[in-house]
Amino acid sequence: MKQDEKISRRDLLAGAALTAGGALLPSLPMPQAPQTPDPSSVPGTATSAVSARSTFEAPARAPTGAVSGASFTPLHRLTGTMTPNDLLFERHHSGVPAIDPKKHKLIVHGLVDRPMTFTLDDLKRFPSVSRIYFLECSGNGRAAYKDPKPEMTPQVVDGLTCNGEWTGVPLAVILRETGARSSAKWFLAEGGDSAKVSRSIPIEKAWDDALVVYAFNGEALRPANGYPVRLLLPGFEGNTCIKWMRRIKLIDQPNMSKDETSKYTDPLRDGKARQFSFLMDAKSIITSPTHPTRIDRGWREISGLAWSGRGKIRSVDVSTDGGRTWSPAELPETIASKAHTRFRFMWDWNGRPAALMSRATDETGYVQPTRAVFEATRGKGTDYHYNYIRVWNVDRSGLITFAGNA
């Protein structure tokens, strides 16, 4: 008998027990290991209308089932900077509406010479542009700030952000078409869902880089992402980028709607509150290695994402000793403005406890703050724009956990 054919005492006892019970359980099947054919010896599957991920890969948004709430992008399961369309984070106030694109209309009125109504086909007749930008919810990072837990992953900490190629029409083109008046200092954008979310935006943003978009990463917007038409304001907080947009009204002052008075105002330490705090500050987060990873000694790559609403990321520094020392991370040769940038840093772990951190600096010179600096400026009661430095602890076993904020 060959070595791999020897039968253990446990196998003999198990076989005897099965034989003894055979009269009582004559139809009990023997457990069988799944048979996986050699993929090089059999034909593969045929073509399909829509490709699926490998059964060995299952990134997913979480949580699910919320009509009013959020579902987070699995940042730690992604590479590069482009967010897959089906993993784009969600934040809704009244669920996802089902809108027929043939019936949807965008009305532009107010302080314009020619009030107009645009169908989706009308918008697609204008010259289009495709640009890569990030999008981030203003409340991204709230759970990690209010109640940090060791088992938090980058998805839970900062998963309310995405990045990709947006296609649509510059809002400036539409304003010229309708004859925007010089007396218009703001514009109100309103969504077509049952919550009718609306926000007032300074008119300068419309003339700058605002887009009316109908596609993301080469395909039509998905319903949860604002199908058929949404507003995109590069670098501004996500709630201003109105989904399912049905109306733009040019006005001479802020509308002071419910979504910019009862919501999206930020308490400060002196008892006042920030309002119309549109810009998203420079920020970064390590996405690998993080919880729930357990690492081995030796060389490995520390990788993550950095972005800023002010423009390009200029540099990212990484610390493995809790901020006592910092080293520059590697950035790509070409860095897009107001977009996610992937940073990388090679690290030789020696088996001792470590604390991993990243710190972004944008082209204006703004530096991502520590939590102490963040709170000294904004106060502990702040409720939006959480951009302080995150920390990941590595214990002697190699297990990584979220340590909160530097």
> Mean pLDDT throughout 299-310?
98
> Mean pLDDT throughout 124-150?
97
Q: Is the dihedral of CA 220, 159, 257, 279 positive or negative?
A: negative
Closest residue by Cα to residue 319 from 277, 287, 357, 273: 357
Single pTM value for the model: 0.89
> Mean pLDDT throughout 190-204?
96
Using an 8 Å Cβ cutoff, are 118 and 145 in contact?
Answer: no
pLDDT in tens, 147-192: 999 999 999 999 999 999 999 999 999 999 999 999 999 999 999 9
pLDDT at 31: 53
Cα–Cα distance between 250 and 260 in angstroms, integer? Answer: 17
Closest residue by Cα to residue 279 from 138, 142, 394: 138
Query: Which three-class secondary structure state does DSSP give residue 224?
Result: helix
Q: Return all residues near 219 (Cβ < 8 A) that are at least 6 apart.
A: 85
Q: Which of 2-16, 81-95, 179-193, 236-250 has the lowest mean pLDDT?
A: 2-16
pLDDT at 29: 52
Cis amide bond preceding 202, omega within 30 = no
pLDDT at 323 over 50: yes
Domains, the chain, with CATH or none = 69-274 (3.90.420.10), 283-405 (2.60.40.650)
pLDDT at 41: 87
pLDDT at 405: 72
pLDDT at 379 over 70: yes
Cα–Cα distance between 214 and 269 in angstroms, integer? Answer: 40
Helices (H), 6-48: 9-20
pLDDT at 11: 43
Cα–Cα distance between 46 and 59 in angstroms, integer? Answer: 24
Using an 8 Å Cβ cutoff, are 223 and 156 in contact?
Answer: no
pLDDT in tens, 38-58: 888 889 889 999 999 999 999
What is the DSSP code (8-state) at residue 138? T
pLDDT at 40: 87
Cα–Cα distance between 306 and 285 in angstroms, integer? Answer: 7
Position 337, amino acid? S
Element housing 372 (H / E):
helix 371-378
> Mean pLDDT throughout 219-246?
98
Backbone dihedral angles phi then psi of residue 145, each to the nearest 5 degrees: -80, -45
- In the block, residue with structure tokens 């420079």: 282
C-alpha angle 309-313-316 in degrees, rounded to nearest 5: 125
Tokens found for residue 119: 């169908």
Q: Higher pLDDT residue, 35 or 226?
A: 226
Tokens found for residue 405: 């904020």
Q: Higher pLDDT residue, 393 or 265?
A: 393
Closest residue by Cα to residue 123 from 156, 101, 155: 101
What is the DSSP code (8-state) at residue 30? P
Using an 8 Å Cβ cutoff, are 161 and 73 in contact?
Answer: yes
pLDDT at 217: 98
Query: Which three-class secondary structure state does DSSP give residue 201?
Result: strand
CA distance between the termini of the chain:
63
- In the block, residue with structure tokens 């308490």: 267
pLDDT at 293 over 50: yes
> Mean pLDDT throughout 22-40?
57
Most confident of 5-9, 47-51, 269-273: 47-51
Report, in angstroms and rounded to the nearest whole number, the Rg of the chain calculated over CA atoms. Answer: 26
Backbone dihedral angles phi then psi of residue 252, each to the nearest 5 degrees: -100, 0
Tokens found for residue 285: 């987060």
Count H helices and E strands in the chain, helices first.
7, 22
pLDDT at 34: 61
pLDDT at 45: 86
Tokens found for residue 334: 């070409």
Tokens found for residue 235: 């670098």
Cα–Cα distance between 353 and 321 in angstroms, integer? Answer: 9
Position 5, amino acid? E
pLDDT in tens, 328-369: 999 999 999 999 999 999 999 999 999 999 999 999 999 999
Proportion of the chain above pLDDT 70, given as a percent = 91
pLDDT at 367: 98
Element housing 154 (H / E):
helix 154-158
- The confidence band for 207, taking pLDDT boundaries of 50, 70 and 90, is very high
